Amino acid sequence: MLATASTANVDFVRSLGAETVIDYTTTPFEEVVRDVDLVLDAVGGGTLLRSMKLVKRGGTLISIYEQPSVELAERLGIRASMNQTIPNSEHLCKIVQLIDEGHARPTVRRVFALHEAQLAHELCETGHGRGRIVLHIAD
């Protein structure tokens, strides 16, 4: 499995299990990657377009950011779609169970109190960082 990250997060992403981590601030990923079976895109824009060209014919790209170009996907002979998760209480309870049982280990970046919701949003909108941002609503 390959992953991309900025310099400060390379070791962290490797510790999560990526065999190869490409520092996207110093190395265009096309120099390291080609003909992959599956891309998971969380960035969109130009990064998504570049990523589509690295998927081998018959492979798949899934973006959680935006709908990939259908025309480009057809031309490249790949499947490309956007996946949108709409959480419900059943899903959230299942995630809590996976964490409690030690199957999932979330990394928490920062916890904000409810009255700091604006700060939480501003941090979220930077598009960079390590781990989840938590809004503490109730004990």
Ligand X SMILES: NC(=O)c1ccc[n+]([C@@H]2O[C@H](COP(=O)([O-])OP(=O)(O)OC[C@H]3O[C@@H](n4cnc5c(N)ncnc54)[C@H](OP(=O)(O)O)[C@@H]3O)[C@@H](O)[C@H]2O)c1
Q: Where are the alpha helices (DSSP H) in 77-137?
A: 89-100, 117-124
Q: Which is nearer to ligand X, 47 or 60 (CB)?
A: 47
User: With respect to ligand X, which residue has the nearer C-beta, 77 or 92?
Assistant: 92
Residue 12 in contact with ligand X, rule: CB under 6 A: no
CA distance 36 to 31: 13
Chosen residue from 38, 64, 98, 111 binding ligand X by CB under 6 A: 64
Q: Which of 65, 69, 73, 119 binds ligand X (CB under 6 A)?
A: 65
Nearest CA among 52, 22, 30 for reference residue 40: 52
Residues in the chain: 139
Span from 49-57, 72-80, 97-105, 126-134 in contact with ligand X (CB under 6 A): 126-134
Distance between CA 4 and CA 56 in Å, rounded? 19
Nearer to ligand X, 85 or 88 (CB): 85
Residue 111 engages ligand X in binding (rule: CB under 6 A): no
CA–CA separation, 134 and 139 (whole Å): 13
Q: Quick check: 88 binds ligand X (CB under 6 A)? A: no
Helix count (H) and strand count (E) of the chain? Answer: 5, 7
Query: Would you tell me which residues interact with ligand X (CB under 6 A)?
Result: 4-6, 9, 24, 42-43, 47, 64-65, 83-85, 127-129
